[in-house]
Structure 1
Amino acid sequence: MELEAAAFRGLVGHLQNRKDVQNIDLMNLAGFCRNCLAKWYLAAARDHNVTMDYDQAREVVYGMTYDAWKDNHQAPASDEQKRIFKENSHLHADIPGAK
């Protein structure tokens, strides 16, 4: 468990440093994004009876509020990015327990 947690922290830290990488590009290439990581985090919190909401989980992943990240780092998605997102939706991460 300790190794898994360290790997997660490494991934989250890397994404916090790579604010230039857009969530839609992550989704289109890998089928998951920062929001997915937050949903997995939230699902794990619930599995361990930790009280947390989605906004709190996103703050852990983004290193700031989601609104602050969007305002400062999120670029508008192009029509091509949106097309690929929709086309690949069947490959997007399925996150049980996060809804």
Structure 2
Amino acid sequence: MTEIDPTTQTELEAAVYRRLVAHLQTRTDVQNIDLMNLAGFCRNCLSNWLKDAADGKGLPLTKDAAREQVYGMPFAAWKAKHQTEASPEQQAAFAAAQAEPH
């Protein structure tokens, strides 16, 4: 494997993050509960991780601002426009996943 310098590695990781966020912004049909059930993380997790990273650097980033960066719009607007009610099956799968030891 080719050796990658730390700066280039960070740039690559940042590009991947931006591409993931852009992808999730276009896939509004994919609900957060589906992401949680299949992958164990969702858009809210990404925004929380972004806020945690900012906090770690001492940068002022609110939860709402982090969510807006991930969702591409204010969270309340995304929720009103795209979020659907979770089905009983989705809720059961989520509850089962949360009960599993990690």
Partner in structure 2 of residue 17 of structure 1: 26
User: Do the aligned partners of residues 90 and 8 (structure 1) sit closer, same or farther apart at CA in structure 2, a change above 3 Å counting?
Assistant: farther
| Structure 1 portions without partners, runs of 5+ | 94-99
Question: Which structure has the greater CA radius of gyration?
Answer: 2
Letter in 2 for 1:7: V
| Structure 2 portions without partners, runs of 5+ | 1-9
1:80 to 60, 67, 89: 89
- Alignment of 1:59 onto 2:68: yes
Letter in 2 for 1:80: E
State which drifts further: 82-91 or 27-36.
Answer: 82-91
Runs of 4+ more than 3 Å apart: none
Higher RCO structure, 1 or 2 (CA under 8 Å, sep 6+):
1
Fraction of identical pairs, as percent: 55
CA-based RMSD? 1.4
User: Do the aligned partners of residues 8 and 90 (structure 1) sit closer, same or farther apart at CA in structure 2, a change above 3 Å counting?
Assistant: farther
TM-score by length of 1: 0.89
